[in-house]
């Protein structure tokens, strides 16, 4: 029974949103919903309607084509609310053709890639793709056998005479599946689930409650839907009634956008453009390994010792992170160094940089009462306030007494923002490169902000304000993109760059849930995602450490961090060797990873891709959430158990085992047994994978020399993005000839033909139509062709 409480209540230290209307069988008054409408006025791309509910109440409805593939639907009662927060940006008028056709009983607006048909009486909205195929339509018809309405249709509900929420209900087709909603840790296919858009610190990764909520989803029918609200929107995706999907919006309007594909990959960029937020293009060093000194009592000597050990053990690492204890306990987070533990922070940063590291520091947006800056902030009203006019204070560290109660910086207060920026700025001028923007999920319901917003209104918005401020300051001080490493987020938060999956415990189920969260977040266009290798809370076993490291080092961003050591040699020689093996693999793959980061920056398509995103026509992929595509061509199937075995699904086509070069033909599922040092990793046949010869320090310059590993059976192409532009490579086996085409700015590029079973013996090579007289061979005998010389 979905509405019964759990056996063990969820321990919450973040306020829950107010209860939304739930109607029982005897509640015969029912919701107010639109039954008919008349046209008030119309234009080329829109129609304004006066809707009438079943009891005669009037509402305003605006339906508009706002982009070639996007329709906006806005339902308000008597007047628009100027205080309502909107995250969708005003898009320029579509250039393509838009037509509006009216009859006595309907209005149809047709955009370039989407059309919407509105029947005026009885009121009904249907959305179609450009080919006329139905994408989505309202559902008013679901009733119980006695005739009681069992859905919440297009309208609103009141409690004690006060409107508490708008709502909408759509038909959920029998074969329809839904993905997205943010970093939800439940099963990837969200059909049969109820999703609440309310940021939590769930102190784990096993729940529907999560740090990053996004009121956006994608359907296998080829559409996406975004609800423009920062309030606790609730989606019921066939849980209460399997025939429908429902939305409840406790805001002053119902404002949603339907986005037509036709493919899932077409939907994500349109959504990103709608909220005006494509992922930043990170500096190359951010794609290397991040290693933390850990969430533990720390000091300069300990941090430097760890940094030196990484180099002594020849573990490639680009970013060294220092967590909470660089500040004084009880003062978190006033951005002031604990001078007892870190007597010379400037010298520490200089030394870390001299060793080749970029430096990351932890922060959050709260402040403890023991800080000398606390009285200044309190006196000037820089904290969120209680309704009685006193500063709000509470335990936001888990009700454990671990840290004194804290106050929350009011980022709606311009003077508070300016003051707080000046606390942060000196860190960047010392040489800190990136800040880990922790927390920001806990704005309580009963606070009042400087700009008049309630805690209910500010709760989800707060993380965007916080990360915007830090990101903008980093960009201002460094001249680079404002990369942050954030825990919480909301719609549009992909603009802040790096985000990690929160505070998982050290278990295999937590590892699996972490992957589910990352896949769901990726469907919302958040491309630069990561997680704590081996989990955050506790001490992982040797097996878990190794398996999670294999997964983490082939994630969009890679970081080792936790409450106990995450240095690989602390888990034994075998763990150290395997960690080093996969860290080196990551660094060799940096040209491939960076090229996909450029694509993400331009399109919001994630680096960690759900199988359904690459194979949307294969129903076997719809619920698949324990394997993924890393970019377009690498299939990764992490091992999530001590037995070292799992099923792996291979979609249609041919796949090549990265380690053995065995060719596997899909579609099929195989039971894979993987030794501890082996991650099930497969390459799409005919993929051209750009690599480096060996792991080495990352430079902010085009990768060189480049080696393109060609897993060629017949014909493959590569479009490689780098700092100097786009390089295009085509490779085809034509009889006994390997025909190569190369165009691009890179000056030192070789193509290496990976030997595969059944591959034709190559007797001649051509490059851009000319015969290559003497093809080279690598040290291990592989055919190697120089495409361009330095």
CATH code at 152?
2.60.40.1760
Among residues 607, 626, 656, which one ends one of the domains?
607
Better pLDDT: 150 or 493: 493
Q: What stretches of 368-476 adopt beta strand conformation (E)?
A: 407-408, 434-437
If asked whether residues 590 and 615 sit together in one domain, one would say: no
Kindly report the average pLDDT of the chain as a whole number. Answer: 95
Look at residue 272 and tell me if it is in a domain: no
> For residue 260, what pLDDT band results from cuts at 50, 70 and 90?
very high
- Of 607, 625, 650, which residue sits at a domain end? 607
Of 89-93, 640-644, 661-665, the range with the lowest mean pLDDT is: 89-93
Q: Poorest-confidence range of 28-37, 371-380, 440-449?
A: 28-37
**Whether residue 597 is found in the same domain as residue 743:** no
Let me know if residue 570 belongs to a domain. Answer: yes
Looking at residue 25, what is its pLDDT? Answer: 44
CB neighbours of residue 444 within 10 Å: 18
303 lies in the same domain as 413? yes
pLDDT, tens digit (0-9, with 9 covering 90-100), for 714-723? 999 999 999 9
Q: Are 39 and 121 contacting, i.e. CB atoms less than 8 angstroms apart?
A: no
Whether residue 635 lies inside any domain: the answer is yes
Give catalytic status of residue 372 as yes or no: no
pLDDT given at position 281: 97
From 77, 298, 503, 614, active-site residue:
503
**CA dihedral of residues 423, 425, 427, 430 (deg, nearest 10):** -140
Helix, strand, or coil here: 529? strand
Is the domain of 425 the same as that of 553?
A: yes
Domain identity same for 248 and 310: no
Based on the fold, state whether residues 494 and 581 are members of the same structural domain. Answer: yes
In a domain, 423, yes or no: yes
* 16: in domain: no
Q: Evaluate if residue 113 carries a pLDDT over 50.
A: yes
Backbone angles phi, psi at 628, to 5 degrees: -160, 165
Q: Are residues 435 and 574 in the same domain?
A: yes
What are the percentages of helix, strand and coil residues in the chain, rounded to 5?
20, 30, 50
The domain total for the chain is: 4
Rg (C-alpha) for the chain, rounded Å, is 27
Q: Are 120 and 37 in contact (CB under 8 A)?
A: yes
* Tens digit of each residue's pLDDT (9 = 90 or more) over 270-311: 999 999 989 999 999 999 999 999 999 999 999 999 999 999
Q: Are residues 428 and 330 in the same domain?
A: yes
Q: How far apart are CA 496 and CA 486, in angstroms?
A: 8
Segment 519-543 shows an average pLDDT of 98
Residues 253 and 362 in one domain: no
- Cβ–Cβ < 8 Å for 120, 38: yes
Query: Percent of the chain scored above 90 by pLDDT?
Result: 87
| Catalytic entry in 441, 532, 614, 722 | 441
pLDDT reported for residue 245: 98
- Residue 410 in contact with residue 384, Cβ under 8 Å? yes
pLDDT in tens, 588-625: 999 999 999 999 999 999 999 999 999 999 999 999 99
Query: How confident is the model at residue 6, as a pLDDT?
Result: 54
Let me know whether 88 and 107 are in one domain.
Answer: yes
Q: Is residue 271 part of a domain?
A: no
Where residue 740 sits, what CATH number does that domain have?
2.60.40
- Asked if 78 contacts 90 with a C-beta cutoff of 8 angstroms, the reply is no
Query: 787 versus 29: which is more confidently predicted?
Result: 787
Q: What is the pLDDT of residue 10?
A: 52
**For the residues 473-497, what does the mean pLDDT come to?**
97
**pLDDT surpassing 90 at residue 28:** no
pLDDT at 22: 52
Q: Tell me the pLDDT tens digit for each residue of 700-754.
A: 999 999 999 999 999 999 999 999 999 999 999 999 999 999 999 988 999 999 9
pLDDT value of residue 7: 53
Structural domain including 739 reads 701-788
CATH of the domain at 643: 2.60.40.1180
Determine whether 441 is an active site residue: yes
pTM of the model: 0.96
Cis peptide before 262 (omega within 30 of 0): yes
On whether residue 229 sits in a domain, the answer given is yes
Q: Tell me: do 589 and 640 sit in the same domain.
A: no
CA distances from 604 to 66, 267, 327, 562 (A): 20, 10, 35, 29
The answer to whether the beta carbons of residues 367 and 403 sit under 8 Å apart is no
Which of 196, 323, 438, 468 is an active site residue?
438
Residue 568 sits in the same domain as residue 613: no
Establish if 403 belongs to a structural domain.
yes
Whether residue 367 contacts residue 409, with contact meaning beta carbons closer than 8 Å, is answered with yes
Please give the average per-residue pLDDT across 65-72, as a whole number: 97
What CATH number corresponds to the domain at position 391? Answer: 3.20.20.80
Q: What is the pLDDT of residue 759?
A: 87
Identify the sign of the CA torsion 555, 556, 557, 562: negative
| pLDDT for the residue 775 | 83
Boundary-marking domain end, from 607, 628, 649: 607
Residue 544 CA to residue 560 CA, distance in Å, equals 13
pLDDT in tens, 214-236: 999 999 999 999 999 999 999 99
């Amino acid at each position: 029974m979905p509405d019964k409480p759990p056996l063990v209540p969820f321990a919450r230290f973040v306020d829950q949103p107010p209860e939304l209307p739930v109607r029982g069988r005897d509640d015969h008054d029912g919701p107010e919903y639109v039954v008919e409408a008349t046209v008030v006025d119309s234009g080329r791309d829109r129609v304004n309607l006066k809707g009438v509910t079943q009891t005669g109440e009037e509402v305003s409805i605006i339906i508009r084509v706002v982009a070639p593939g996007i329709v906006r639907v806005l339902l308000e009662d008597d007047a628009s609310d100027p205080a309502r927060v909107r995250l969708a940006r005003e898009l320029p008028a579509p250039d393509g053709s838009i037509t509006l056709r009216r009859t006595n009983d309907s209005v149809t607006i047709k955009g370039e890639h989407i059309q919407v048909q509105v029947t005026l009486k009885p009121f009904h909205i249907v959305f179609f793709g450009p080919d006329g195929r139905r994408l989505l339509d309202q559902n008013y018809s679901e009733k119980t056998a006695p005739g009681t309405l069992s859905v919440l249709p297009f309208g609103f509900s009141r409690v004690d005479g006060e409107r508490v929420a708008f709502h909408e209900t759509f038909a959920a087709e029998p074969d329809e599946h839904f993905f997205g909603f943010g970093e939800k840790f439940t099963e990837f296919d969200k059909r049969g689930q109820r999703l609440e858009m309310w940021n939590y610190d769930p102190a784990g990764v096993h729940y529907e409650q999560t740090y990053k909520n996004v009121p956006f989803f994608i359907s296998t029918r080829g559409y996406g839907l975004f609800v423009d609200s920062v309030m606790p929107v609730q989606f019921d995706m066939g849980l209460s009634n399997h025939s429908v999907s429902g939305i409840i919006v406790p805001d002053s309007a119902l404002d949603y956008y339907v986005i037509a594909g036709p493919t899932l990959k077409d939907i994500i960029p349109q959504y990103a453009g709608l909220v005006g937020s494509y992922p930043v293009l990170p500096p190359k060093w951010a794609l290397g390994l991040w290693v933390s000194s850990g969430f533990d009592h720390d000091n300069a000597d300990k941090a430097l010792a760890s940094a030196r050990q990484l180099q002594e053990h020849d573990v490639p690492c680009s970013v060294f992170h220092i967590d909470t204890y660089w500040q004084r306990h009880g003062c978190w987070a006033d951005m002031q160094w604990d001078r007892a533990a870190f007597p010379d922070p400037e010298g520490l940063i200089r030394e870390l940089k001299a060793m080749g590291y970029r430096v990351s520091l932890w922060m959050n947006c709260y402040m403890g009462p023991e800080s000398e800056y606390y009285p200044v902030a309190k006196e000037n009203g820089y904290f969120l306030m209680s309704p009685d006019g006193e500063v709000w204070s509470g335990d936001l560290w888990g009700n454990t007494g671990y840290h004194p109660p804290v106050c929350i910086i009011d980022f709606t207060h311009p003077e508070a923002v300016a003051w707080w920026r000046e606390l942060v700025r000196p860190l960047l001028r010392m040489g800190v490169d990136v800040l880990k923007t922790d927390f920001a999920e806990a704005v309580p319901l009963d606070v009042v902000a400087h700009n008049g917003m309630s805690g209910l209104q500010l709760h989800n918005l707060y993380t965007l304000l916080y990360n915007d401020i830090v990101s903008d300051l980093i960009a201002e001080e460094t001249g680079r993109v404002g990369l942050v490493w954030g825990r919480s987020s909301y719609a549009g938060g992909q603009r802040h760059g790096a985000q990690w999956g929160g505070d998982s415990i050290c278990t295999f189920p937590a590892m699996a849930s972490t992957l589910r969260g990352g896949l769901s977040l990726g469907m919302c266009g958040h491309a630069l995602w990561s997680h704590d290798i081996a989990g955050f809370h506790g001490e992982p076993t040797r097996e878990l450490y190794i398996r999670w490291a294999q997964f983490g080092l082939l994630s969009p961003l890679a970081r080792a961090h936790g409450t106990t050591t995450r240095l690989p040699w602390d888990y034994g020689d075998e763990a150290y060797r395997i960690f080093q093996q996969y860290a080196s693999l990551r660094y060799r793959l940096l040209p491939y990873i960076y090229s996909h980061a450029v694509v993400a920056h331009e399109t919001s398509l994630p680096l960690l891709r759900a199988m359904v995103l690459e194979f949307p026509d294969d129903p076997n992929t719809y619920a698949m959430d324990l394997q993924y595509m890393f970019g377009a061509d690498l299939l990764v199937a992490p091992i999530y158990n001590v037995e070292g075995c799992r099923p792996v699904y291979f979609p249609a086509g041919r796949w090549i085992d990265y380690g053995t070069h065995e060719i596997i033909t899909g579609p099929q599922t195989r039971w894979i047994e993987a030794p501890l040092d082996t991650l099930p990793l497969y390459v799409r046949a005919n993929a051209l994978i750009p690599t480096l010869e060996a792991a080495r320090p990352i430079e902010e310059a085009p990768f060189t020399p480049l080696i393109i590993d060609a897993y060629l059976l017949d014909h493959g192409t590569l479009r490689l993005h780098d700092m100097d532009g786009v390089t295009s490579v085509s490779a085809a086996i034509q009889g006994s000839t390997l025909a190569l085409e190369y165009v691009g700015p890179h000056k030192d590029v070789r193509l290496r033909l990976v030997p595969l079973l059944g591959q034709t013996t190559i007797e001649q090579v051509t490059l851009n139509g000319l015969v290559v007289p003497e093809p080279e061979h690598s040290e291990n005998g592989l055919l190697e062709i120089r495409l361009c010389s330095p």
